[in-house]
Amino acid sequence: MKKISMLVLSFVLFVGCASTETIRRLEFQAGQNVSPLVGQGNQPAPAGFGDLQVSLTVKTRKPNSVVIDTTGYGTDRYQLLVGAGDQVRRVSGDMAVETGVHRGSSDPEIGNGVRYRFATTLRLPVGMHRVTAALPGDGVVLEQLVEIKQGSNKLELKPVYRMKSKHRRIGFPGQRTYYEGVKELVAVDPGRCLQGTASLR
pLDDT in tens, 63-104: 988 888 889 999 999 999 999 988 999 999 999 999 877 666
Q: CA–CA distance from 179 to each of 30, 70, 91, 132, 168 (Å)?
A: 28, 14, 22, 25, 17
Domain definitions of the chain by residue range: 2-199
The CB-side HSE value for 132 (13 A sphere, CA atoms) comes to 25
State pTM to two decimals.
Answer: 0.79
Look at residue 37 in the predicted model and tell me its pLDDT.
66
pLDDT tens digits, residue range 165-186? 665 555 445 689 999 999 999 9
